[in-house]
Structures are given as structure tokens and as C-alpha cells.
């Protein structure tokens, strides 16, 4: 069951303003480092022709700081609703930058002027805090004109007004509409569908659950996941910590109200993940170009047909994109797919192993996953990531369960948990569970581990048919 709705105007504005902030702060960090070096008059000392180690460390200083800002979510859209949290994340990023930079200088025995460090880090942190204060106040003024157009849907017993919700909404100056919560006289799934239909038809920006007493933990989880699918923020009045089991929580000034966020890669982490992809994939495309040429020749010699095989796959946010592979099957194999493989089920693995459509060269390419190499280009242009859920075919969408939509929160990946856990030797449900697990537990460290494990999986060939 899938639902779509147009994202609110306020969300578009917030993300656009955050992009400006990311660009400006990135330039600021580089400028501060350059200025510190020039003021200290050690420009000649850090020139790459004079002292390469010192030059590398200083050049990496703004990069380390930017990475820390991303890791701690200092550019996440939630800081626009919780300013204190935004300042806290900025300070944590600065502290981590200082620890990393000091440790690197000590380990590699590189002497860096204390003035440069203090000027860049301490001065930069103070300037950042001041600029963020100005930025957040400017955003607040800008958003007031938009937020006043927003409406919130409140789920409350018998659809009656709720004092806590009324008080909470006063801060944001929004209109509230009340909707009856679930009770024993209603079918739960039918009630949830009515709630989602109301959200989509009226385009509410937030939905509030004023009381959790009528629901079990399982019901709250199911309701949360389906609401997240509509890209509507779900806020719970949660005195007992029921919502804490969710992956990401956004707290408001009134700490009883908690936004249960979709466990997506936030705006700050998105920048870091994109940099991570580009740093690895750009040199890979250059280094692997001779292998691309050798594979192309082998395919042409082995069988007739095109060099590449392209499919339409479902990507991030359910957008369709072109998914290329080196051709490993005979021409016209698509028309025989259902006849040979059928629908995904428990015995599909055996059908994969004896697929008559695969060519001789194709079996070798599949054995070592070399047919996937053209997807490096997709990573380069941004439709895929190095690590993420494997994209599915549009015709496989009907196999998805109520909560499997969460896998589409992330960009599809060249590799992922499924690829290092048996691939086609796993069941459909196991594959979906792996994908959801990745989305909820994403980190740069996890990506690095999965990339390393991918090479081991390629060598072993497990699940490659």
C-alpha cells in the first residue's frame, strides 16, 4: 500500500535555505584557515614545496570540520525547529574537529602554529554561532509567512479538542483539525487508511497523536510507518517514552511532544555520503577503464547483441531511473523472464542457478559481479550510491508489504547488506529486512564495512548466479 502527497511549501523553503547555509559555511571554513595562515605569516612554511606534511594537515582542517558538521547533523532540517539543538550540534562538531586535528598532529609529529589552530577553530566557532543565530532568526521571520498557512491534524479521543495540542500549536500559529482516534468499535487497519486518506486530501503538514493510551506498541509502530510514507511529520504527546523505540526523535520546547522522524539520512549526512561516494567512485572509473574495455570485447566476441543491458528500476523516493549492466543474457531474454523465473518465492534461487538465458561470458561476469560495473556511472551522477538497498523492478513493487516502502528512503546501492549476506540465496522477506535495517542504521562506518565485505562476497561468489 503506497501513498503520495505533495510536500509542504515550508519544507521546500527550509531545505533551500539549508543548502545556502551549507555552501556559505563551507566557504567560510576554507577562508578562515587561509586567513589564519596569512595573518601568522607562515605562508612560506606551509607551501607544498617546502613542508608537504604541514600543508596536507592544514588543507585537511576545513575538510575534517565539514565532515564533523555532517556527522553530528549540524545541517539537519530539524535545527530550524529546535535552535538550541542546532547550536549544540555545532559545538560538538567543533570539539570533535579539535580532537581529530590535535591527534593527527601529535601522531605524525607535525608542528602547527597554535595561533592558526585557535584562530581557525575558536574564532571559527564563535563566528559560526553568531552567523547561525542571525540565520535562524532570518529563517523564523521567513517561515512565519508560510507556517501560518499550515494546518495540523490532531488525533484525539472522539475527535474532541485537546488542551495540550492547543497550547503546543500556539507557538507555531497554526490551525488544528481534530480526528477521532482508534477504539474497539473500529477496525484498526480501516481506521489507519481513513487517517492517511484525510492527510493526503487536506495536505496537512503535521499530524499529532494527543494520547497513546488507546494504542498498543505494535499499533503505534504501524501507524507511524504509514504516516511517514506520506512525508508528514508525526508528533506524539509521549509522557512514558513509547516513541523512544523509533530510530530518530525530534524534541520540541515542550519535551512531552516528540516528532517521530522517518529514519532517513538527514540533510547533513546526505552531503557527507555524497562526498564519500564521489571520492571512491571517481578514481575507480579511471582505474577500471581497461577492465571495462576487456569486458566489452569479450561480450561482443561471445554473442550478438548490445554491449549494455538497461532496465527501469525504482530508486530513492520511488523515482524510476535507468539501471545499466553489462549484458549477460541472450537478446530478448526479458520476454522470457516470467516464464523462466516466475514470481519471487522460496524456490526462485534454484531457477536462477539453471537460467538458460545466461551466456558463457555472462556466467563469468555474474560470478564475480563484474556485470554491475556500469552502475559506477549511476553513483557518479547521483542516481545511486555505493552502498544502499538494491533497486527493485517496477513489476516487483506489488510484492512489497505495508512497511517495505521504508527501503526507498535511501538511494539504491551498488552493494549493501543483502549483497554480503547471500544475495540470491536469501528469501524475499529477508532481503526486505536487510534493506530496512540498513536505512535505520546508516553510518559512514557501516558503508565502509559493507564495501570491504563486498570484496569478500565477490571472491566467494555466494548467491551470484
What is the average pLDDT value for the chain, to the nearest integer? 78
pTM over 0.75: no
**Bigger pLDDT: 300 or 405?**
300
Name the burial class of residue 380, with classes exposed (0-12), middle (13-18) and buried (19+) by CB atoms within 10 angstroms of its CB: middle
Tell me which of 17-26, 289-298, 346-355, 441-450 is least confident: 346-355
Residue 24's pLDDT is: 83
Quote the CA–CA distance of 221 and 243 in Å, as a whole number: 9
CATH fold of 150-261: Rossmann fold (3.40.50)
Instruction: Say if residues 182 and 214 touch (Cβ distance below 8 Å).
Output: yes
Mean pLDDT across 395-404: 76
Tens digits of residue pLDDT in 245-283: 444 666 676 666 777 766 556 666 777 788 889 989 999
DSSP string, 163-205: HHHHHHHHTTT-EEEEEEPP-TTS-HHHHHHHHHHHHHHHT-S
The predicted structure's pLDDT at residue 2: 45
Any idea of the CA torsion for 273, 274, 275, 277, to the nearest 10 degrees? 90
Q: What is the pLDDT of residue 176?
A: 92
Query: Taking 50 as the threshold, does the pLDDT of residue 50 lie above it?
Result: no
What does the pLDDT read at residue 145? 66
Q: Which residue has the cell 592544514?
A: 58
| CB atoms near residue 370 (< 10 Å) | 22
What is the pLDDT confidence band of residue 47, given thresholds at 50, 70 and 90? Answer: very low
Cell numbers describing residue 70: 555532517
Those residues whose C-beta lies under 8 Å from the C-beta of residue 287, and which sit 6 or more positions away, are none
Region 414-441: mean pLDDT is: 81
Choose between 410 and 112: higher pLDDT: 410
pLDDT at position 429: 80
Residue 295 scores a pLDDT above 90: yes
CB 406 within 8 A of CB 436: yes
373 vs 386: CA distance, rounded Å: 11
pLDDT at residue 51 tops 70: no
| Alpha carbons 212 and 155: distance in angstroms, whole number | 10
User: Where is average pLDDT lowest: 2-16, 92-106, 382-396, 420-434?
Assistant: 2-16
The full set of domain ranges for the chain reads 9-146, 150-261, 267-460
Query: What is the widest separation between alpha-carbon atoms in the chain?
Result: 79
Q: What is the per-residue pLDDT across 125-176, written as a single tens digit (0 to 9) for each?
A: 888 888 888 888 888 777 766 655 678 999 998 888 998 888 888 877 788 9
Average pLDDT over residues 13-42: 74
Cβ count near 87 (within 10 Å): 17
Q: How far apart are alpha carbons 235 and 302 in whole angstroms? A: 59
Contact 402, 222 (CB under 8 A): yes
Assign residue 41 a region: left if phi > 0, alpha if psi is -120 to 50, beta otherwise? Answer: left
In contact, 195 and 1? CB cutoff 8 Å: no
**29-32-37 Cα angle (round to 5):** 130
Whether the pLDDT of residue 191 is over 70: the answer is yes
In three-state secondary structure terms, 349 is helix
What average pLDDT does this structure show over 232-242? 71
Long-range contacts of 446-452 (CB under 8 A, 24+ apart): 446/387, 447/273, 447/276, 447/386, 447/387, 450/387, 450/415, 450/416, 450/417, 450/419, 450/420, 451/280, 451/386, 451/387, 451/415
pLDDT value of residue 354: 65
Strand pairing of 175-180 and 151-156?
parallel
Amino acid at each position: 500500500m503506497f501513498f503520495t502527497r505533495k510536500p509542504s511549501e515550508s519544507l521546500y523553503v527550509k531545505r533551500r535555505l539549508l543548502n545556502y547555509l551549507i555552501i556559505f559555511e563551507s566557504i567560510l571554513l576554507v577562508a578562515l584557515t587561509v586567513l589564519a595562515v596569512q595573518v601568522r605569516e607562515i605562508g612560506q612554511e606551509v607551501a607544498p614545496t617546502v613542508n608537504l606534511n604541514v600543508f596536507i594537515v592544514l588543507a585537511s582542517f576545513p575538510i575534517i570540520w565539514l565532515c564533523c558538521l555532517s556527522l553530528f547533523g549540524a545541517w539537519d532540517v530539524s535545527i530550524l525547529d529546535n535552535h538550541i539543538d542546532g547550536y549544540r550540534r555545532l559545538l560538538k562538531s567543533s570539539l570533535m574537529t579539535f580532537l581529530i586535528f590535535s591527534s593527527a598532529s601529535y601522531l605524525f609529529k607535525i608542528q602547527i602554529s597554535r595561533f592558526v589552530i585557535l584562530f581557525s577553530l575558536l574564532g571559527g566557532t564563535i563566528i559560526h554561532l553568531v552567523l547561525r543565530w542571525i540565520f535562524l532568526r532570518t529563517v523564523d521571520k521567513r517561515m512565519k509567512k508560510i507556517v501560518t498557512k499550515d494546518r495540523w491534524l490532531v488525533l484525539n479521543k472522539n475527535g474532541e479538542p485537546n488542551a495540550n495540542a492547543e497550547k503546543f500549536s500556539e507557538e507555531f500559529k497554526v490551525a488544528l483539525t481534530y480526528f477521532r482516534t482508534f477504539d474497539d468499535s473500529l477496525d484498526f487497519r480501516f481506521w489507519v487508511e481513513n487517517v492517511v486518506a484525510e492527510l493526503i486530501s487536506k495536505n496537512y503538514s503535521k499530524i499529532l497523536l494527543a494520547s497513546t493510551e488507546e494504542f498498543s506498541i505494535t499499533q503505534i509502530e504501524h501507524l507511524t510507518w504509514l504516516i511517514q510514507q506520506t512525508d508528514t511529520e508525526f508528533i506524539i504527546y509521549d509522557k512514558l517514552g513509547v516513541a523512544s523505540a523509533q530510530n530518530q526523535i525530534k524534541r520540541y520546547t515542550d519535551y512531552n511532544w516528540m516528532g517521530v522522524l522517518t529514519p532517513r539520512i538527514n540533510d547533513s549526512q546526505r552531503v557527507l555520503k555524497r562526498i564519500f561516494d564521489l571520492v571512491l567512485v571517481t578514481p575507480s572509473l579511471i582505474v577500471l577503464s581497461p577492465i571495462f574495455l576487456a569486458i566489452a570485447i569479450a561480450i561482443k566476441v561471445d554473442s550478438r547483441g548490445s554491449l549494455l543491458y538497461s532496465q527501469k528500476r525504482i530508486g530513492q523516493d520511488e523515482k524510476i531511473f535507468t539501471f545499466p549492466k553489462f549484458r549477460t543474457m541472450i537478446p530478448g531474454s526479458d520476454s522470457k523472464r516470467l516464464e523462466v523465473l516466475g514470481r519471487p518465492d522460496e524456490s526462485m534461487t534454484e531457477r536462477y542457478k539453471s537460467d538458460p538465458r545466461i551466456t558463457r561470458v555472462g556466467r563469468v561476469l555474474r560470478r564475480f559481479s563484474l556485470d554491475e560495473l556500469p552502475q559506477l556511472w549511476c553513483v557518479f551522477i547521483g542516481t545511486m550510491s555505493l552502498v544502499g538497498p538494491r533497486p527493485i523492478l517496477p513489476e516487483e513493487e506489488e510484492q512489497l508489504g505495508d512497511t517495505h516502502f521504508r527501503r526507498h528512503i535511501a538511494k539504491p546501492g551498488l552493494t549493501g547488506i543483502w549483497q554480503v549476506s547471500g544475495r540470491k540465496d536469501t528469501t524475499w522477506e529477508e532481503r526486505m529486512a536487510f534493506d530496512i535495517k540498513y536505512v535505520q542504521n546508516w553510518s559512514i562506518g557501516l558503508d565502509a564495512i559493507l564495501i570491504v565485505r563486498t570484496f569478500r562476497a565477490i571472491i566467494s561468489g555466494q548467491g551470484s548466479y
